[in-house]
Chains A and B, each alone.
Chain A
Amino acid sequence: MGLETFGWLILLCPLAGCVVISLGAKLWPEGAPGWIGTAAIAASFASSIGALFALEDLGEEERQVVTVAWDYASTAGVDAQLSLLLDPLSIFMALTVSGVSTLIHLYSVSYMRSDRGYTRFFAYLNFFVFSMLLLVLAGNFLLLIVGWAFVGAASYLLISYWYRRTTATRAGIKAFVINVIGDIGLVLGTYFIFKGSGSLDFLTTFDSVEESFSRNDGDLVAGCIGLLVGAFAKSAQVPLHTWLPDAMEGPTPVSALIHAATMVTAGVYLIARMHPLFEQAPTAADVGAIVGCATLVIAATIALVVTDLKRVIAYSTMSQIGYMIMAVSSFAYTAGLFHLMTHAFFKALLFMAAGSVIAAMAGNQNLDEMGGFRRAMPFTFGCMVIGGLALSGVPPFSGFFSKDEILAYVAARDDWHVALAGLGFVGSLLTAIYTFRMIFRAFLGDPVEPARDLEQGHLYHAPEHTNPATGEVEDTDVGFPGADHHIAEQEGSMKVAMGCLAVLAIVGGFLQIPGVTEVLHHFLEPTFADSAYYEELHPSDGLTALGLFTGTVLALGGIALAYHLWVRTPDAPGSLRAKLAPVHSFFFNKWYFDEIINTLIVRPFAWFGRFGRNTFERIVISGLFVGGTTGAVRAGSAAVRAAQSGYLRYYAALLLLGVTVLGAYFLLAGS
């Protein structure tokens, strides 16, 4: 089967899975939708592998294939087509997305087993994977925007999956609104780029970027800033990041898939894909780099003080995506994309492990109430530690190679990018600290009641089911989480999924050891062949070694510090918090972003909406236009109705009048 067939199969298998699950929703026996969904994504992954091999069979020069299914040009007037672009970058993304998705589907088969909305979950999840694959495989701006919008919609559906919880629905709406702001940026950016290049097709636009735009052309910078707005909203960068922590209201597999491995990486993919445009408008690229750097620092500081287990990992995601955005905006493509892949592995692993711990706690996510799960959940503990070590960048785990490579490349860009790299190293230290803070608090120390119950062999059940965020009592019917919880130690499929990811987190780094194995760099070369920086930007061996060494030192130092603070002297964090109370509260309130956005944007819009409804709608539209029109019609018809008085003589008079007028007309016409 050719590359093009594989390409379409990659896209259509998840869609077929979604459709099949949905159509037979009432018919499936227990557990079938989970296996159908997993099989669909596994088929997609197999097709990705097939596409990879087919791509490798082609010559070096021909590795960018466009396959067209339908041409909309006749109706749309622009060169819009239903086309996929199959080149190394898109196949790489497809492999990552479908691979990690398969494992997460496998995990969810057991994790969501006792939820009443099981079928709906897998239908939504398959739809999400379809939209993400559409996004990465799209061959023109139109399909990209379509995939982008679908991904936002799927994210909304999955965040507010437990729809009878108000916190969940509110979080879903928040995520969707911010995503739509990003969509607007994306569409406007596309417009500006289309204005200059005249084509919606990727390859055509990229080939003609030098002729269509001058360096740092106003239109191109505006277009790229628009694309960046879209990327920031989707990848949760400052200031459009406030939706990501709230999005943890969704089930843990959703957090693992969407908010760690796939959707939030769409922004990184976007910048990497549009690299010819960004290289022609370096101003926009610089903006991206600065925002990425700012996000990674801000998110790391917040992760230090947050007490919800999933939110620590969410802020960690935000921070790591900041690294990736910084990398691709500084034109270090391989490093950024490599980190994307390794991050997908260890972050999904971390979320899965967190899900297992939360299940053991019967839905409670509060770090303050966790402790000592090491003996009760050894497998989960092991996975969490592997993920944590990879995240912190300890050799030889995958995160070490990818993260430090980013920092080395960014530093190699001279000028002020060195400062960004420096902040990146600060971020590495903070990453190690907060990651192991989380692990030590949850697993070490004295076992709490659920841990003790688990050591004795039975899973802890809370006396009543409550919303973990607000404490509101809820039941276990449809729209709420199910009554039972499933932990990794007891479920086979969860163990398999987490095990695969743990192995990948360990060995994934060997794909791109700087100077030794440059597999990824060579693989991605056809896509980035037109980049000025792909081959040229290369840190010297000395810089690379310095970077790796510094990274290791910072990671181990951070782990040691965390150990000291949270294991050796458990009272130290408390006294530290008391001493630095204003700093702590500033971080704890997430740098007040939510409050600022609320005051600056949400309140004025809400006021405007209320004004529109009470004043404008009521008085002008209903009163004046609608009321006025109906009043005028009613008055007119009343006037006309007066002619139907019922008086015979009145009618006769009108008749005679008409005859007179008619006669007069004929008289005048004849004379």
Chain B
Amino acid sequence: MSITWYLCVSAIVFCTGVGGVLTRRNPLVVLLSLELMLNAANLALVAFARAHGNQEGQIFALIVMVVAACEVAVGLGLIVALYRRRLPIDVDELRELQG
């Protein structure tokens, strides 16, 4: 399989993630869609690593995984804090920062 196929899969997954971020109101699902986008990027990176024949892409993908993990930790912590304060878990309701 040529690399192009992998890249196509990556593109489709990424755009699905975009659709999810824009559409869903539950912040948990928004974070999940964000994970989708990160994973799509990972796939592209690994595909190019294979294409070029060195491992730099794979290392990059590992670091992306680390970052994703951190971001998830903090994000979920925020959601838990919101739930504790009995605020609505809905991104449309949380709009204090408006002009």
Direct contact of A and B (CB under 8 A): yes
Q: Which residues of A contact B (CB under 8 A)?
A: 641-649, 652-653, 656
Q: How many inter-chain contacts with C-beta < 8 Å in the A-B complex?
A: 34
A sample of 16 inter-chain contacts (CB < 8 A) reads: A641-B99, A643-B99, A644-B98, A644-B99, A646-B96, A646-B99, A647-B92, A648-B30, A648-B91, A648-B94, A648-B95, A649-B22, A649-B23, A652-B21, A656-B21, A656-B22
**Is B64 close to A, CB under 8 A?**
no
Task: Decide if A647 touches B22 in the complex (CB within 8 Å).
Answer: no
Distance to closest chain A CB from B27 (angstroms): 8
Task: Decide if A653 touches B22 in the complex (CB within 8 Å).
Answer: yes
Residues from chain A with Cβ under 8 Å of B18 in the complex: 656
Closest to A656 in B: B18
Bound complex: CA A648 to CA B96 (Å): 11
Bound complex: CA A93 to CA B95 (Å): 84
Bound complex: CA A649 to CA B30 (Å): 9
**Is B73 close to A, CB under 8 A?**
no
**Is B74 close to A, CB under 8 A?**
no
Distance to closest chain B CB from A640 (angstroms): 8
Residues from chain B with Cβ under 8 Å of A644 in the complex: 97-99
What 6 A-B pairs come out closest when comparing CB atoms?
A: A644-B99, A646-B95, A646-B98, A648-B91, A641-B99, A652-B21
Residues from chain A with Cβ under 8 Å of B23 in the complex: 649
Distance to closest chain B CB from A59 (angstroms): 86
Closest to B96 in A: A646
Distance to closest chain A CB from B11 (angstroms): 11
Bound complex: CA A49 to CA B90 (Å): 99
Interface centre among A641, A648, A656 (most CB of B within 10 A): A648
Task: Decide if B92 touches A649 in the complex (CB within 8 Å).
Answer: yes
Inter-chain pairs besides A648-B30, A648-B95, A649-B23, 10 sampled, C-beta below 8 Å: A642-B99, A644-B98, A645-B98, A646-B99, A647-B91, A647-B92, A647-B95, A648-B91, A648-B92, A649-B92
Distance to closest chain A CB from B58 (angstroms): 25
Residues from chain B with Cβ under 8 Å of A656 in the complex: 18, 21-22
Q: How large is the interface on B (under 10, 10 to 19, 20 to 34, 35 or more residues)?
A: 10 to 19
Closest to A653 in B: B22
Bound complex: CA A164 to CA B32 (Å): 84
Residues from chain B with Cβ under 8 Å of A647 in the complex: 91-92, 95
Bound complex: CA A649 to CA B21 (Å): 7
Closest to B91 in A: A648
Closest to A648 in B: B91
Residues from chain B with Cβ under 8 Å of A652 in the complex: 21-22
Bound complex: CA A647 to CA B23 (Å): 12
Distance to closest chain B CB from A634 (angstroms): 14
Beta-carbon contacts under 8 Å, B69-99 to A: 91-92, 94-99
Bound complex: CA A652 to CA B24 (Å): 12
Task: Decide if A645 touches B95 in the complex (CB within 8 Å).
Answer: yes
Distance to closest chain A CB from B3 (angstroms): 18
Bound complex: CA A644 to CA B96 (Å): 10
Residues from chain A with Cβ under 8 Å of B95 in the complex: 645-648
Distance to closest chain B CB from A360 (angstroms): 80
Bound complex: CA A647 to CA B22 (Å): 11
Residues from chain B with Cβ under 8 Å of A653 in the complex: 22
Interface centre among A641, A644, A645, A649 (most CB of B within 10 A): A649
Bound complex: CA A641 to CA B94 (Å): 18
Bound complex: CA A646 to CA B91 (Å): 9
Distance to closest chain B CB from A638 (angstroms): 10
Residues from chain A with Cβ under 8 Å of B92 in the complex: 647-649
Residues from chain B with Cβ under 8 Å of A645 in the complex: 95, 98-99
Bound complex: CA A643 to CA B97 (Å): 12
Bound complex: CA A641 to CA B25 (Å): 23
Bound complex: CA A646 to CA B97 (Å): 5
Bound complex: CA A642 to CA B98 (Å): 9
Closest to B99 in A: A644
Beta-carbon contacts under 8 Å, B2-41 to A: 18, 21-23, 25, 30
Residues from chain B with Cβ under 8 Å of A642 in the complex: 99
Residues from chain A with Cβ under 8 Å of B96 in the complex: 646
Closest to A645 in B: B98
Distance to closest chain B CB from A192 (angstroms): 62
Closest to B30 in A: A648
